[in-house]
Amino acid sequence: MKISVIKVGGNIINDEQALASFLDQFSALEGPKVLVHGGGKLATAMAKRLGIEPKMVDGRRVTDADTLEVVTMVYGGLVNKNIVAKLQAKGTNAIGLTGADANIIESDKRTGWEIDFGFVGDVRKANASPIIGLLEQGITPVVAPLTHNGEGQLLNTNADTMAQATAVALGQAGHEVSLRYCFEKAGVLLDINDDNSLVPVLNPQKFEEFKAEGVVADGMLPKLKNAFDAIDASVTEVWLGKVEGLLSKEPVGTKIVGS
């Protein structure tokens, strides 16, 4: 099967119009597909309304029990189910999932760091077979950024990593997978403020150069590491860019090329 795995971030989730436009384009995308969505700011806003203070340790955000409750409600319920209902209205037979559902993504509670991140999970394993079973039924999985440890515990999990693990598992199961990370930039940019400075193809050598030169930094680093891990594992193609570029028939953005 040729499968598209589309990751969409919080900036699109947060913006009603951007989300509507994304869902139109996602719905129009042909062939079997999987959507992995980030959380967005709704959880922070909901936590604030509930009087739950963001818990930071050494400048890092920690998912305590109250915060886990909020992200389970907001990501797994409010955001995920509204996306599903909207996709249904567009004729896409969506099904909303966390990693716990049909056991598609298992994780381990993060340990071994100097700080305790709380209920945060690092992906242990994505299981291709339930996802393929759904795709074969013409059903489109819509995955929220939550996983489980197999012992009854839900865990807050990075959506980029979940998308990568899903794409890799589908690739390893023998499918041709196109993984596309949609975010607010046109792709990897030589000048972060200039969409015209797009790097159309990025290979590991150039990535190392860009890191050394500071062309890529901050949030782009883990995103690109995910992208290279995917292409080096089993994923046929990996792209980064804006929704309108990546969801067109011939993707426009930065194409990641393996070593």
Smallest gap from residue 74 Cβ to a second copy (A):
6
Residue closer to a second copy (CB basis): 77 or 222: 77
Residue in the block written with tokens 């930071």: 56
CB of 220 to a second copy, least distance (A): 30
**Nearest distance from C-beta of residue 142 to a second copy, angstroms:** 9
Distance separating alpha carbons of residues 80 and 166, to the nearest angstrom: 17
Using the contact rule CB under 8 A, the part of the chain among 8-16, 43-51, 169-177, 228-236 near a second copy is 43-51
DSSP per-residue string spanning 188-218 = SBSSTT-GGGB-SEE-HHHHHHHHHHTSS-T
| Angstrom distance (rounded) from CA 178 to CA 237 | 5
124 labelled ligand-binding: no
Residue 146 CB, shortest distance to a second copy, in Å, is 7
Instruction: Give the separation between CA 91 and CA 146, rounded to whole angstroms.
Output: 26
**CA neighbours closer than 13 Å in the CB half-sphere of residue 129:** 1
DSSP 8-class letter at 53: P
| Residue 61 marked as a ligand binder | yes
Q: DSSP string covering 96-111, please?
A: EE-TTGGG-EEEEE--
Least Cβ distance, residue 148 to a second copy (angstroms): 5
39 is in an annotated binding site: yes
Cβ-based nearer residue to a second copy, 148 or 255: 148
**Residue 28 binds a second copy, judged by CB under 8 A:** no
**What are the phi and psi torsion angles at 239 (to 5°)?**
-130, 150
Classify residue 115 by its DSSP letter. S
In the complex with a second copy, the residue whose CB is nearer, 130 or 258, is 130
User: Binding marks (x or -) toward a second copy, 114..153, rule CB under 8 A?
Assistant: ----------------x--xx--x-x------x-x-xxxx
**What is the smallest separation between the CB atom of 19 and a second copy, expressed in angstroms?**
12
* Residue with token string 């339930």: 130
Binding-site member from 56, 89, 201, 221 for a second copy (CB under 8 A): 89
Q: Which of 70, 61, 158, 160 is nearest to 118 (CA)?
A: 61
d(CA 238, CA 40): 23
Comparing CB distances to a second copy, the nearer of 60 and 90 is 90
Q: Hey, which residues between 177 and 206 contact a second copy (CB under 8 A)?
A: none
Q: How many residues sit close enough to a second copy to count as binding (CB under 8 A)? A: 42
Task: Specify the DSSP element, H or E, that contains 146.
Answer: strand 146-148
Tell me the two tokens of residue 33: 């597909």
| Residue ranges of the binding site for substrate | 39-40, 61, 156
| Residue ranges of the binding site | 39-40, 61, 156
Chain positions contacting a second copy, by CB under 8 A: 46, 49-51, 69, 72-78, 80-82, 84-86, 88-89, 93-98, 100-103, 130, 133-134, 137, 139, 146, 148, 150-154
